[in-house]
């Protein structure tokens, strides 16, 4: 039997459940369904039943596999840089410094800007002839480099811009973790004879480990899904230098109109991300219980 309390809770939940069902569960189920057919937006209907054919062909598609490789490279580099820099910044904010709140506001501004605006802004800044970046670089003898159009620098530049925008997210999570650390172990450590470095090494780092993991995994998931920034900055180019998997899937669905194929690829991406998010939620749950 459902208790009255639960029944009341359910009544209040129904509107959001319907909304979530219509906007998330239904499209998800539908896309899963069509991933077994050969829906092509140029034609009417579901097309032929393909079974796992779309999945098999996606795995054989060298561009798809290439885009996954690019995504992995992009995500790992972005997360490593953001983590190291972000932790350093978080440590600074955790100290007593004057004007901390002002600096903090500045650091989190990029997070509040939409990726499209960030992309457009940086495209202007990095413009090979009109951009401020190249103008400034010209003073030290570097001239007219097309940062986003050069195969060698495109991915690096996208990574730089993503770090610029997303680092505040890392700072925020890590700082929240630092602030919530108990202060007693530090006092105990200082009495036990630990130097500041030893306190950091033996107290801060181990106590922060769960936060580190959560921050890294959450950021890894979002980095893996990066799409908007790529769309605005490079459209996957030059060539396929910056073609990440989300953008490749988008292209399959809306440029080539191969909806079923794109759906199958999306579910492959989902399969890659499920273990990562599972680990992240497990850690979060353990931490909340502990």
Partner 1 sequence: MATVQLKNIKKIYPHSESKQKKGLFGKKKDEEPEKKHNLQITAEGTVAVQQFSLDIADKEFIVLVGPSGCGKSTTLRMIAGLDTITEGELYIDGRLVNDVPPKGRDIAMVFQNYALYPHMSVYDNMAFALKLRKMPKAEIDRKVREAAEILDITEYLDRKPKALSGGQRQRVAIGRAIVREPQVFLMDEPLSNLDAKLRNQMRSEILKLRQRIDTTFIYVTHDQTEAMTLGDRIVIMRDGFIQQIGTPHEVYNHPHNLFVAGFIGTPQMNFFQTRLECENGEFYVPLYGTRFELNEKQKQMIKERGIEPQEITLGIRPEHVSLCKEGGVEAEVDVSEMMGSSVHLHCSVQGEEVVVIVSGLELGEEHASGFSHGEKVRLHFDSNVLHLFGADEVNLL
The contact set with partner 1 (CB under 8 A) reads 93, 96, 100-101, 104, 175-176, 179-180, 182-185, 187-195, 198, 202-203, 206-207, 209, 290
> Cα separation of 261 and 249, whole Å?
8
Query: Pick from 47, 50, 49: which is nearest to 257 by CA?
Result: 47
Task: Output 36 or 93, the one with its CB closest to partner 1.
Answer: 93
Mark out the alpha helices in the chain (DSSP H runs). 4-20, 26-34, 53-60, 62-93, 100-112, 115-125, 132-138, 154-179, 184-192, 196-199, 205-224, 228-233, 245-250, 259-289
CA 116 → CA 137, 165, 228, distances in Å?
25, 11, 6
CB nearer partner 1, residue 155 or residue 189: 189
Residue 141 or 193: the one with the smaller Cβ distance to partner 1 is 193
- Nearest-approach distance from CB 102 to partner 1, in angstroms: 12
Nearest CB to partner 1, comparing residues 47 and 185: 185
Q: Which is nearer to partner 1, 6 or 282 (CB)?
A: 282
DSSP, residue by residue, 222-234: HHHT--HHHHHHT
Shortest spacing between CB 106 and partner 1, in angstroms: 13
* The dihedral sign for the CA sequence 76, 119, 155, 130: negative
Q: Which residue, chain included where needed, has tokens 């909304």?
A: 19
Report the nearest approach of partner 1 to the CB of residue 242 (Å): 35
130 CB neighbour count, 10 Å cutoff: 10
Residue 217 near residue 275, CB atoms below 8 Å: no
Q: How far apart are CA 151 and CA 257, in angstroms?
A: 27
Residue 82 CB, nearest approach to partner 1 (Å): 19
Partners of residue 153 on adjacent β-strands? none
- Considering the complex, what minimum distance in angstroms separates the CB of residue 170 from partner 1? 15
In this complex, which beta carbon is closest to partner 1, that of residue 8 or of residue 195? 195
Q: Are 241 and 158 in contact (CB under 8 A)?
A: no
Residue 12 CB, shortest distance to partner 1, in Å, is: 29
Nearer to partner 1, 57 or 94 (CB): 94
Taking the complex as a whole, the smallest distance from the CB of residue 190 to partner 1 amounts, in Å, to 5
Is the CB of 10 or the CB of 209 nearer to partner 1?
209
* N-term to C-term CA, the chain: 31
CB of 203 to partner 1, least distance (A): 7
- How many CA atoms, within 13 angstroms, populate the side-chain half-sphere of residue 105? 3
């Amino acid at each position: 039997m459902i208790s009255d309390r639960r029944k009341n809770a359910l009544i209040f939940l129904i509107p959001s459940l319907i909304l979530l069902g219509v906007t998330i569960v239904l499209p998800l189920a539908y896309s899963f369904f069509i991933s077994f057919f050969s829906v092509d937006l140029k034609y009417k209907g579901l097309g032929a039943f393909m079974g796992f054919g779309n999945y098999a062909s996606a795995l054989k598609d060298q561009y798809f596999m290439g885009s996954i490789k690019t995504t992995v490279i992009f995500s790992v580099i972005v997360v490593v840089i953001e983590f190291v820099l972000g932790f350093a910044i978080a440590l600074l904010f955790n100290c007593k410094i004057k004007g901390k709140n002002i600096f903090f506001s500045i650091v989190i501004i990029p997070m509040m800007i939409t990726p499209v605006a960030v992309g457009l802004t940086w495209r202007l800044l990095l413009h090979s002839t009109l951009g401020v970046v190249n103008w400034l670089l010209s003073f030290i003898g570097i001239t007219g480099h097309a940062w986003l159009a050069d195969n060698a620098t495109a991915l690096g530049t996208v990574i730089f811009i993503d770090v610029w925008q997303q680092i505040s997210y890392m700072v925020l999570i890590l700082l929240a973790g630092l602030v919530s650390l108990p202060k007693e172990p530090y006092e105990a450590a200082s009495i036990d004879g630990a130097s500041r470095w030893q306190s950091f090494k033996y107290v801060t780092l181990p106590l922060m480990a769960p936060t580190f993991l959560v921050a890294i995994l959450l950021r890894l998931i979002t980095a893996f899904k990066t799409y908007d920034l790529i769309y605005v900055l490079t459209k996957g180019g030059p060539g396929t230098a910056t073609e990440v998997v989300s953008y490749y899937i988008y292209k399959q669905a809306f440029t080539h109109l191969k909806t079923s194929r794109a759906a199958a690829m999306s579910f492959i991406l989902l399969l890659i991300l499920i273990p990562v998010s599972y680990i992240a939620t497990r850690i979060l749950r353990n931490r909340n219980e502990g």
